[in-house]
Structure 1
Amino acid sequence: MTNTDHMPLAEPASSSEIPVDSGGTGRAYRFDGLAAAVLDNRGSVVRWSRAAEDLTGVTAEEVCGHPVLELVADLPDDLRSATQMPASGRVRLLHQCGNIIDVTFRAIEVDDAEEFLVLAAPTHHVADHEQGAALLRALSSQNRITIALHDMDLATVQTNATPGTFDDRPVQPGTRLCDVLCAEDAETLEAVLRQVLETGAPVVRQKQQVSWRHDPARRHALCLSAFRLEDARGRPTGVAALYIDSTDALRARRNLDLAREVAEQVGKSLDVVRTAQDLADVLVPAFGDLAAVVLAQSVFDGDKPPKQLGGGDLHLRTAALAPTTAAWPAGSRCGAPVPPLSDHPLLRSSQHGKTVVYGRDDFIALMGGPQPAESVLPKDAHAVMVAPLYARGLTLGHIVVWRTGRSDPFTEDETDLMTQIASRGALAIDNARRYTREHRAAVALQQRLLPPATTDTPAAETAGVYLPAGGGADISGDWYDAIALPSLRLALVAGDVVGHGMPASATLGRLRAAIQTLADLEMEPDELLTRIADLVQRLAAEAPPGDHDSIGATCLYAVYDPVTQRCTLASAGHPPPVLLRPDGTAEVVPISPGPPLSVSGMPYETTTIDLEPGSILALYTDGLVERGGRDIDQGFRRLTDALAASCRPDRALDETGRALLAHLVDQAPRDDATLLLARTRAIPAEDTAHWEIPADPAAVSKAREWATRQLTAWGLDDLLFATELIVSELVTNAIRYGRPPSQLRLIRHNVLVCEVTDSSSTQPRLRRARTTDEGGRGLFLVAQLAARWGCRHGQNCKTIWCEQLIECPP
């Protein structure tokens, strides 16, 4: 109940009980009201009131006709020298029992100074009365405190409420709370006052929400303190109530709390939609009844929004609504596009960065009429505030807050607050947009760097699965690879680059390219890892100062030969693979891991295992077995058990990989997880043929004859001529330039592989012979007749190979 002008309350009459000790007897003399006496012009007592008897203990019969000075214990000097009755002063009176009472008096002339009316009271009572009156006047003058005295029926007796406080009408004596407040609120307050009146227990700072009777739509926050009024004998006479209107204070506190909550809650996520939803949730119900966040469609994809002014289709889409359980119109659903808008002046103001408030009619005009507005206008909405989300020179969208029903209209202070909230929210959404853009680029790069998820080669069927850290929120340098090698072999790779983000992805790309290049040179796994370790050292040396230690990786490299059904592998600080055999048993392959690739100059050891056809070899990164600080051995056991339980011959390998990853990895892992599954195959023995080459030049013709017979048996007559020439040249080179023992091998699959192995490490070299040269055309002929050719080195041997395509029958 706020008032601006104040009518001070009347000072209450003094009524008190004055204990006066009567000679140590402990008896108390009661004193109520003011002591009154009438004196004549000589100072003799003419009349003596009952209150004067209570004050002095002297009766009227005893004092009337006697000078009043007989009751004075000692007269002050200023009174002693006075020639007439003073208007006021202080004297000490003798009580009949012998005590002395300090009193303050006031004299009033009566009948042309023939008589004087003297009023007196104990001095300390007068001081208390003056202080109480001063306190009451001070309280009455406070413009935010309304004081009301209510009688036993709770009707208003006195109040400092002024005209203008309630409906521009003064509060008359006898006014009830129901005449000022809405009936329900008045009933609540009267119940509180009645309890105070009945129990005597005061109420201190009790908060109440009320509405004035003339303005029921607007709610006010009252802070009520009330205490019971009693007379001198302790009997209740009414209730004194202090009403403090704390609406503005609570609104200011609410605004501060809202600003703090926006700072704490908005911006924790780097997802655009999640950030928009957090912003909408904070605003309801603290700021409005309904809230929506609409964003430019390009913002969802991380792109910059277009700069547009005026109406039309602004390409906006609803990103968040609060509360989500509200009965929103069909056109305001999450994800729904915002309909075209008319070129309204308030829209222009909003597009220039100003927070604007629309009335219901303005909003309907903005939407182009009642019918278009119906699809987006919430029920009972009477006001809407629209604040632009403007950050870093871009208008990302808008915050739209609705107030419905009996809620208060928006104020200018709330408009300023919403501008601040929108500024903070815009920065959070723009951060999420920029992250979305960078993340999308990193994901695209990662997808380009990884091989196809599945491959199908003569050596094995493979399926790879990759899960970035944070369930896709972060990108790292984990990778896998399946590289087809000559002679139907297959290289399997799993690696983990140190770090996250684009630098890790860039390092991944360089390492994968280097491994593919070295794999084509058909190096042994240990030698290949040694070369890659040297490369990592060079990359670390090229890194900026301070980043040298952040360049590193682990890697597992394996080569499987479907002819021999053997797999040779080596590890550079990488976890060992898990092998699932056709009989369903699973085990971790025992290997001797070398140092990570960031440490060069250390040797790597190879391990060779036999793989039956249908075996599954699982290569992975540590994110699959390290989980929440769990022991690494426990992670190996979980992986082994899950692999044995999930891998079935009738189940697609990629489906198995996804199921394993979902089972073994947390929903939002802290590290990347990569899994490569390879189901091995074998080349049947009837599709291979071997022939030992004697160290005799005559063996060349025998090798041609042997090859011809073998191709005829395989039904490859169309390759006889080319194969005879290839065999002739390769065997001749092995006898002439190599060292025994030598071997010729033919492999039939979708290609015909011809291999000649000898014990020499000399690298063959392709050259173009001159027309007068008698030799030097062997490898040139092989290169022309075969689809591809090459040379690989083994331990104390080398193999020259070539492949010819086999045409499938129609």
Structure 2
Amino acid sequence: MESGRNGFDASTSTGTDDLFDASTDATAVLSAAGVVVGWTRAAEALLGYPASEVVGRSAARLLAVPGDPARVAGIAERCRTGMGWNGLVPVQHRDGRRTDMDLRVSASFRIGEKECFLLSAREERPQWTVGRSVLDGFLSRAPIGMAVMDLELRYVWMNDTLERFGGVPRDQRLGRRLSELLPGLQAETIEGLMRKVLASGEPVTDYEYVGWSWADPRRQHAYSTSFFPLVDGADTVTGVCYMVQDVTERWTARQLLSLVNEAGSSVGSTLDVMRTAQELADFAVPRFADFVVVDLLEHVLSTEGHGAWLSDAGPAPARPAMRRAGMKSAREGCPEAVAQIGDEVDFLPPASDANLLVSGDPVLIPVLDPSDAVWVAEQPVRAARIREFGLHSLISVPMRARKTALGLTTFARSLNPVPFGPDDVLLAHELVARAAVCVDNARRYTREHTAAVTLQRSLLPHALTGGTALEVASSYLPADAVGGVGGDWFDVIPLSGARVALVIGDVVGHGISAAASMGRLRTAVQTLADLELPPDDLLAHLDDLVLRLSDEEADRDPAAASTATFIGATCLYAVYDPVTRRCTMARAGHPPPVVVAPDGHAYFPEIPAGPPLGLGGMSFEVTEIELAENSLIGLYTDGLLEGIDPDVESAMARLGTELARTATDLGTLCTSAVRQLTRAPQPDDVALLLARTHALPADQVASWHVPADPAAVAHARAEATRQVTDWGLGELAMTTELIVSELITNAIRYAEPPIRLRLLRDARLTCEVADASSTAPRLRHARSTDEGGRGLFLVAQLCHHWGARHTSEGKIIWAEQDIP
């Protein structure tokens, strides 16, 4: 049988009670007569006897010495009283060898009618004993430095390892304190820790510090130290022992990892190539080097193409063109440098060529020799600076990212006497690799941002003119480089009848796609404006266009179709008529315009907001207001409001106050308003379009009611000729007569009354014929045999431009002539 924890009380030979646990021992069950009743496999493994050779036989034959009946009887009697027994008993192994066993006997118990005892045994392991000479040799040659200090913290004993660590001989240390021997090794702090151990009796473990060793004065070492008190037999503290382990490699690895992680948050904080290069230099000095320069290839700094040889596939030129992008020195003013920031450089470490930048490994020169013939021949000025400022060690690391060569970073030491080693090369390579990714990201972003800005500026109007109806000025600021170029646009479009259209819009999003969408919408607005559509109809057509653009984007990128690709935009379209001084406008989700009356009062007209473009299925509403002459109307994008104040109402109030300074020149007012109201950084584009209204004088407008009678044509021709002559435009009298004759004849023949004739003298001479019909005329190319169909063709040949626009009462056919 095999027994585990049985719950029997047991005791040692000293009478101390404990819980008898034989779960890990070899066990057996004996009857009161000494016959083996049960035998476990653990017992078989310990003594070698199988159960078949033991069970049913006397246990006395297992003893290695003759039995002692009196002792056995005494033990049995003790166990009968409910107590146990344990002690050492020599037994005979099956193979004949003698083994001392730690034997435990439980209190007696019964199995049926038999009185039994449970025996548990384990082999007694001999304790290790060692002589003093062996112990002294072990302590002296241990890889950990050890020392014993007395109560005055003087050395009384130390091993060979500690002597080697400090570089101070043993006979010079014994009887003296650490602060007297190594004052630069944080001795006061270490002695303070030892005093704390002596006072409290508590050990101090794993205290790390960095210091210089006399044994290796050119290199800093890191040590881990533990202190514990020494006590005598009376439990009295008699001294302190400390143990020292050189953990320089572990400390260096931890420091390098910490340095690389710190560089990740310090280098590449902006998407600017030059700034990133300077951040790398600033970070490395003085943490890692005393002088650092970062030289980048010309193509990296250029916003044009990146050059064919930058990738591994292209051959490198013999001497690549680079520019100094970053530089830092432990000495003020970087006197070691032979080039300044922005200067062209061609430095490569000797015995290297441009292939180093493309596919080469970092170059380590642990000991710089400025008198070397190669340095003197290839880098004479640098050799002189190296000699002058004591630069003694150098690492040059090519900067590459995404298989693209970017430049070269060079680290040098002069004030730090420790030369660079292989571990430093790994750190330098990791620092440059991280910075290279940031530089490449900045390079790519800068080019994309520049392309987007260039595209956007090319799509915006280069010059604005409002004719005689409006004096206009504009100001545009692209978003901060981090936010990216947006899709803001504006325009001033001359219309017929001396009218002028003002438009401003904002495409949702940033980047080249937003700028391209903006250009398409601006072109569409110009086309729709030429059709003389009213503001609400124009926005409806523009809404359809944005829907089509969204569908095109979804077709181009099927993956985006599932996420409902949407190109959203806002727009405000206004038409000002200098004859009536009325402004008709509609908006699609865009902020309302600001109007400043001639007396300086600023207000925002109540115009229905309308839905943003691209939603579809919703209508736009028109609002018409009358503007006094010299009124100021301002159109702006939401980026201006966001730059003023997060609260929209407060921002609009400040905008009105700023624009109320109407006495200021319009261009100056526009520029100063944007400058005063925006803040940096600027997350979104800002566009502001200002227009000061003028009215067309009454003496420059003439109109007549024309009866629907062919006989009235002659009278209308005569009146028009007389008016043109009175305006001093006699040269245009004949062509005006022909145009009036043709337009009125067509109106009488094909349209419906009432019919009106109006002449406008503005930058051009405009002839307008209004009727109540909604049918627009069509230009025909008559054949030689046709008797008619040449009227509008003749008008088109005589005038600068002609067209038709619909009104609520019908339509107007107009023709413009250039004034000599």
TM-score by length of 1: 0.75
- Give the partner amino acid of 1:161: D
How far is the alpha carbon of 1:251 from its aligned partner? 0.7
Q: Does 1:400 align with 2:410?
A: yes
1:363 and 1:701 mapped to 2: Cα distance? 105
* Counterpart secondary structure, 1:619: strand
2:194 and 2:163 mapped to 1: Cα distance? 29
Q: Does 1:334 align with 2:334?
A: no
How far is the alpha carbon of 1:276 from its aligned partner? 2.7
1:758 and 1:135 mapped to 2: Cα distance? 124
Q: Indicate conservation of the 8 Å contact 1:526/1:605, yes or no.
A: yes
How far is the alpha carbon of 1:752 from its aligned partner? 1.5
| 1:353-372 superposed matches below 5 A | 353-358=360-365, 359-361=367-369, 365=374, 368-372=378-382
How far is the alpha carbon of 1:471 from its aligned partner? 5.4
With over 3 angstroms needed to count, the CA separation of the structure-2 counterparts of 1:134 and 1:589, relative to structure 1, is farther
The one-character-per-residue Cα deviations of 1:132-190 (angstroms, maximum 9, x if unpaired) are 999886665442x32234578977554323699379x8824234799999987458527
How far is the alpha carbon of 1:743 from its aligned partner? 1.9
Which segments of 5 or more consecutive residues in structure 1 lack a partner in the other structure? 1-76, 79-126
With over 3 angstroms needed to count, the CA separation of the structure-2 counterparts of 1:521 and 1:182, relative to structure 1, is farther
Q: Does 1:621 align with 2:637?
A: yes
Q: Indicate conservation of the 8 Å contact 1:227/1:240, yes or no.
A: yes
With over 3 angstroms needed to count, the CA separation of the structure-2 counterparts of 1:496 and 1:197, relative to structure 1, is closer
The equivalent residue for 1:219 is: 220
With over 3 angstroms needed to count, the CA separation of the structure-2 counterparts of 1:135 and 1:343, relative to structure 1, is closer
The equivalent residue for 1:431 is: 441
How far is the alpha carbon of 1:207 from its aligned partner? 4.3
The equivalent residue for 1:412 is: 422
| 1:377-526 superposed matches below 5 A | 379-452=389-462, 454-470=464-480, 473-526=483-536
Q: Does 1:295 align with 2:309?
A: no
How far is the alpha carbon of 1:241 from its aligned partner? 4.0
* Counterpart secondary structure, 2:160: coil
Picking from 648, 667, 670, the partner of 2:662 is 648
How far is the alpha carbon of 1:790 from its aligned partner? 1.2
* Counterpart secondary structure, 1:401: strand
1:471 and 1:743 mapped to 2: Cα distance? 56
- Give the partner amino acid of 1:336: D
The one-character-per-residue Cα deviations of 1:24-48 (angstroms, maximum 9, x if unpaired) are xxxxxxxxxxxxxxxxxxxxxxxxx
* Counterpart secondary structure, 1:792: strand
| 1:347-358 superposed matches below 5 A | 349=356, 351-358=358-365
The equivalent residue for 1:261 is: 262
With over 3 angstroms needed to count, the CA separation of the structure-2 counterparts of 1:251 and 1:342, relative to structure 1, is closer
- Give the partner amino acid of 1:595: P
With over 3 angstroms needed to count, the CA separation of the structure-2 counterparts of 1:606 and 1:194, relative to structure 1, is closer
How far is the alpha carbon of 1:762 from its aligned partner? 1.8
How far is the alpha carbon of 1:452 from its aligned partner? 2.5
Q: Does 1:345 align with 2:352?
A: yes
The one-character-per-residue Cα deviations of 1:669-726 (angstroms, maximum 9, x if unpaired) are 4443332222222222222222222333232222222222222222212222222222
1:239 and 1:775 mapped to 2: Cα distance? 125
With over 3 angstroms needed to count, the CA separation of the structure-2 counterparts of 1:706 and 1:212, relative to structure 1, is same
1:680 and 1:324 mapped to 2: Cα distance? 63
Which segments of 5 or more consecutive residues in structure 2 lack a partner in the other structure? 1-63, 66-126, 555-560
With over 3 angstroms needed to count, the CA separation of the structure-2 counterparts of 1:693 and 1:547, relative to structure 1, is farther
The equivalent residue for 2:145 is: 146
User: Which range moves more in the overlay, 360-369 or 533-542?
Assistant: 360-369
Q: Indicate conservation of the 8 Å contact 2:328/2:334, yes or no.
A: no
- Give the partner amino acid of 2:750: Y
The one-character-per-residue Cα deviations of 1:174-215 (angstroms, maximum 9, x if unpaired) are 347999999874585278548947994477555444323465
2:803 and 2:613 mapped to 1: Cα distance? 28
- Give the partner amino acid of 1:673: V
With over 3 angstroms needed to count, the CA separation of the structure-2 counterparts of 1:131 and 1:535, relative to structure 1, is farther
The equivalent residue for 1:574 is: 590
With over 3 angstroms needed to count, the CA separation of the structure-2 counterparts of 1:691 and 1:204, relative to structure 1, is same
- Give the partner amino acid of 1:421: L
The equivalent residue for 1:91 is: none
Picking from 542, 565, 576, the partner of 2:552 is 542
Q: Does 1:304 align with 2:306?
A: yes
Q: Indicate conservation of the 8 Å contact 1:312/1:341, yes or no.
A: no
2:413 and 2:317 mapped to 1: Cα distance? 24
* Counterpart secondary structure, 1:795: coil
Q: Indicate conservation of the 8 Å contact 1:341/1:366, yes or no.
A: no
The one-character-per-residue Cα deviations of 1:528-579 (angstroms, maximum 9, x if unpaired) are 1121122222223333113544122221111111222111001122221111
Q: Percent identity between the aligned chains?
A: 43
The equivalent residue for 1:707 is: 720
With over 3 angstroms needed to count, the CA separation of the structure-2 counterparts of 1:324 and 1:562, relative to structure 1, is farther
The equivalent residue for 2:325 is: 319
User: Which range moves more in the overlay, 320-329 or 350-359?
Assistant: 320-329
Q: Does 1:743 align with 2:744?
A: no
- Give the partner amino acid of 2:309: K
Q: Indicate conservation of the 8 Å contact 1:613/1:681, yes or no.
A: yes
How far is the alpha carbon of 1:483 from its aligned partner? 1.2
2:317 and 2:510 mapped to 1: Cα distance? 44
How far is the alpha carbon of 1:424 from its aligned partner? 2.9
* Counterpart secondary structure, 1:726: helix
The equivalent residue for 2:16 is: none
With over 3 angstroms needed to count, the CA separation of the structure-2 counterparts of 1:499 and 1:131, relative to structure 1, is farther
2:782 and 2:296 mapped to 1: Cα distance? 71
With over 3 angstroms needed to count, the CA separation of the structure-2 counterparts of 1:242 and 1:482, relative to structure 1, is same
Q: Indicate conservation of the 8 Å contact 2:400/2:433, yes or no.
A: yes
Q: Indicate conservation of the 8 Å contact 2:467/2:763, yes or no.
A: no
The equivalent residue for 1:693 is: 706
The equivalent residue for 1:720 is: 733
Q: Indicate conservation of the 8 Å contact 2:140/2:161, yes or no.
A: no
TM-score by length of 2: 0.74
The equivalent residue for 1:277 is: 278
What is the Cα-based RMSD across aligned positions, in Å?
Answer: 3.8
- Give the partner amino acid of 1:262: A
How far is the alpha carbon of 1:520 from its aligned partner? 0.3
- Give the partner amino acid of 2:621: E
The one-character-per-residue Cα deviations of 1:396-433 (angstroms, maximum 9, x if unpaired) are 11222222213422121221233233333322221221
The equivalent residue for 1:762 is: 775
Q: Indicate conservation of the 8 Å contact 2:146/2:162, yes or no.
A: no
With over 3 angstroms needed to count, the CA separation of the structure-2 counterparts of 1:181 and 1:787, relative to structure 1, is farther
With over 3 angstroms needed to count, the CA separation of the structure-2 counterparts of 1:177 and 1:203, relative to structure 1, is farther
Q: Indicate conservation of the 8 Å contact 2:273/2:442, yes or no.
A: yes
2:414 and 2:184 mapped to 1: Cα distance? 24
The one-character-per-residue Cα deviations of 1:494-548 (angstroms, maximum 9, x if unpaired) are 1222333233223222222111111001111111112112222222333311354
How far is the alpha carbon of 1:664 from its aligned partner? 3.3
The equivalent residue for 1:57 is: none
- Give the partner amino acid of 2:487: G
Alignment length, in residue pairs? 678
- Give the partner amino acid of 2:689: L
1:438 and 1:305 mapped to 2: Cα distance? 16
- Give the partner amino acid of 2:663: P
1:791 and 1:613 mapped to 2: Cα distance? 27
- Give the partner amino acid of 1:321: M
With over 3 angstroms needed to count, the CA separation of the structure-2 counterparts of 1:520 and 1:651, relative to structure 1, is same
The equivalent residue for 1:598 is: 614
